[in-house]
């Protein structure tokens, strides 16, 4: 990563070497004073990072109650106005796993509305990022987070018996992924036109590429809902899309087709897709990626000054889960194949926006360095070598404290989802969802008593294991 980053940085420095004009010299002191203001705001950012660490730790332990307590505490004291997307994502997840599905949808809808609003001002936001740390800007959510909230809303809608709403949410998730590249092409073009720094410092705006074009789980949910509604053509289309998307997103992996004999969904006649059952069994597993900082410092020849660049990258967290199954009424065992790997999707989709983040960091750090140099020269003219030394110290503090990667992310997002549907008669059923490691040992088990009603209703039995 740093090889390509260094090439971009060297290109910027060559362009900037002779571009430092009188205007920048005269504003150098102001740049340093602005940096001092950022020093104060960085304290609030460090408090948020500590809160995120605690929240992730509690969620990783499976303690949803503790996670709720932390959010109640941090929501009042730690999350800032620019962190509202993040707060609503966390509240949406915890509400979902607490069974408060209507409230969960409200939180996720607030997050989605704010994400859409912030993307509408992305040009302004990217230009503002030249002057302040990314962490001081409104958190607009990552694209994979924007997709995942729709999948949670689709599941909540099923819990609430609104299958039409579930279809809309599932389709929105796939639509966002399908149009991701087009969306960013428009942003890149606009930024290239409006970036007034490009002749001096910009290495050029661009976007990355992704192999993820739609959501397997989104198509699977649509297939199940259409099947339950008796819309066979729609169900067939969505099931075929699911199989194609799964094969494209996870090459080398094979989706286990539903088995015959009632162990999973009803067997389908030749040429037709399997009919979805009336109970969806879901096992969430693993954790979402976290962000870590990648830092690079380029020193001057005499080692007296340097430029610091910091950009985020995603860190995947391995899981001990090898397979998931459900045991119904102690007699019927159903394998729950993996339907989607949210963590892998997150890493791939993040690469689309990453070049924009890198470009922003290069421009901001370079301008900050030039401003620091101008400030030192201005201080030397006014106060001699003592003034230069003070200005150099301030510049060092500003650089180290404020030039940090934005590590905010959705801490309570699961990493994978396993699932299958079964057909169960009306009545009360005991359903145990089990997680196995690679040694075929049960590492987690949770039992539900599910009351199945007659009719076309679709019900969900689910659990979550972070391991």
| Positive/negative CA dihedral, 434, 214, 94, 136 | positive
Distance (Å, rounded) from C-alpha 178 to C-alpha 219? 12
Dist. CA 467–CA 436, nearest whole Å: 10
As beta bridge partners, residue 325 has: 335, 434
pLDDT of residue 11: 46
For residues 362 and 8, the answer to whether their CB atoms sit within 8 Å is yes
Show the tokens assigned to 321: 């889960």
Residues of the domain holding 374: 2-465
With 60 as the cut, is the pLDDT of residue 258 above it? no
- Model pLDDT, residue 214: 85
pLDDT at res. 203: 61
Rounded Cα gap, residues 251 and 18, in angstroms: 49
CA distance 139 to 134: 9
How many structural domains comprise the chain?
A: 1
Please give the share of the chain, as a percent, with pLDDT higher than 70.
82
Across the range 210-215, mean pLDDT stands at 82
pLDDT of 17 above 70: no
Name the nearest CA neighbour of 221 among 240, 238, 236, 246: 238
In whole angstroms, what is the distance from residue 91 CA to residue 209 CA?
31
pLDDT in tens, 334-345: 999 999 999 989
Helices (H), 206-252: 216-228, 232-249
Pairing of strands 338-341, 332-336: unpaired
Q: What is the mean pLDDT of residues 266-281?
A: 73
Q: What pLDDT, on a 0 to 100 scale, did the predictor assign at position 264?
A: 44
Query: Do residues 461 and 433 make contact, with C-beta atoms less than 8 angstroms apart?
Result: yes
Of residues 439 and 195, more confidence is placed in 439
CA distance 70 to 81: 18
Gap between the Cα atoms of 131 and 125, Å rounded: 10
- Lowest mean pLDDT of 76-90, 218-232, 236-250, 252-266, name the range: 252-266
**What is the pLDDT at residue 267?**
42
Higher pLDDT, 164 or 16: 164
Strands 323-328 and 459-465: unpaired
Q: Pairing relation of β-strands 279-287 and 459-465?
A: parallel
**What is Dmax (Cα atoms) for the chain?**
89
Q: For residue 21, what are the CA distances in angstroms to 17, 35, 165, 200? A: 10, 20, 57, 10
> What does the pLDDT read at residue 309?
87
CA 198 to chain CA centroid, nearest Å: 29
pLDDT at 20 over 50: no
Mean pLDDT for the stretch of residues 82-87: 95
pLDDT higher than threshold 60 for residue 222 = yes
Which among 11, 85, 2 has a CA at the least distance from the CA of 48?
A: 85
pLDDT of residue 29 exceeding 50, the answer is: no
> Is the pLDDT reported for residue 395 higher than 80?
no
Query: How far is the C-alpha of 410 from the C-alpha of 290, rounded, in Å?
Result: 8
**Res. 103 pLDDT band, cuts 50 70 90:** very high
Provide mean pLDDT across the span 183-191: 78
Specify the DSSP class assigned to residue 161: T
328-340 in b/e burial notation, b at 16+ Cβ within 10 A?
A: beeebebbbbbbb
**For the chain, what is the radius of gyration of the CA atoms?**
26
For residue 149, which of 199, 204, 106, 186 has the smallest C-alpha distance?
A: 106
pLDDT value at 217 more than 90 = yes
Q: What is the mean pLDDT of the chain?
A: 83
pLDDT at 410 over 70: yes
Please list the residues that pair with 291 across neighbouring strands: 314
């Amino acid at each position: 990563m740093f090889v390509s980053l260094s090439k971009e940085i060297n290109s910027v420095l060559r362009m900037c070497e002779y571009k430092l004009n009188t205007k920048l010299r005269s504003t150098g002191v102001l740049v340093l004073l602005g940096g001092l203001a950022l020093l104060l705001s960085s304290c609030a950012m460090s408090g948020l990072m500590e809160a995120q660490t605690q929240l992730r730790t509690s969620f990783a332990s499976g303690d949803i109650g503790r996670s709720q307590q932390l959010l109640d505490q941090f929501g009042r004291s730690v999350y800032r106005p620019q962190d509202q997307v993040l707060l609503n994502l966390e509240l949406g997840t915890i509400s979902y796993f607490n069974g408060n599905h209507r409230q969960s949808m409200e939180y996720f809808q607030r997050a989605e509305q704010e994400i859409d609003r912030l993307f509408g001002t992305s040009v302004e936001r990217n230009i503002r990022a030249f002057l302040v740390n990314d962490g001081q800007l409104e958190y607009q959510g990552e694209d994979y987070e924007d997709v995942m909230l729709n999948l949670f809303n689709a599941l909540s809608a099923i819990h609430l018996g609104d299958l039409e709403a579930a279809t809309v949410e599932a389709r929105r998730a796939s639509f966002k992924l399908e149009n991701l590249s087009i969306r960013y092409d428009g942003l890149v073009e606009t930024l290239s036109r409006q970036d007034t720094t490009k002749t001096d410092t910009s290495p050029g705006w661009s976007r990355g590429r992704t192999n993820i074009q739609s959501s397997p789980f989104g198509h699977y949910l649509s297939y199940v809902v259409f099947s339950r509604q008796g819309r066979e053509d729609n169900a067939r289309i969505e099931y075929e899309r699911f199989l194609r998307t799964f094969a494209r997103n996870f090459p080398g992996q094979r989706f286990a087709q539903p088995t015959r004999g009632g162990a999973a969904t009803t067997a389908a006649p030749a040429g037709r897709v399997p009919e979805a059952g009336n109970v969806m069994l879901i096992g969430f597993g693993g954790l979402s990626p976290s962000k870590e900082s990648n830092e690079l410092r380029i020193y001057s020849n005499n080692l007296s000054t340097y430029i610091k660049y910091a950009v985020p990258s995603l860190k995947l967290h391995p899981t001990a889960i090898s397979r998931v199954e459900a045991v119904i009424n102690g007699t019927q065992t159903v394998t729950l194949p993996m339907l989607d790997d949210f963590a892998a999707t997150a890493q791939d989709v993040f690469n689309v926006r990453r070049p924009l983040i890198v470009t922003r960091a290069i421009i901001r750090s370079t301008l900050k360095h030039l401003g620091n140099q101008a400030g030192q020269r201005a201080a030397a003219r006014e106060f001699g070598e003592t003034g230069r030394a003070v200005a150099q110290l301030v510049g060092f503090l500003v650089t180290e404290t404020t030039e940090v990667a934005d590590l905010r992310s959705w801490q309570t997002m699961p990493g994978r989802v396993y699932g299958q549907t079964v057909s169960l008669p009306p009545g009360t059923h005991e359903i145990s969802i089990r997680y196995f490691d690679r040694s075929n040992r049960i590492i987690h088990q949770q039992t539900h008593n599910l009351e199945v009603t007659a009719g076309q209703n679709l019900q969900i039995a689910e659990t979550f294991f972070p391991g």
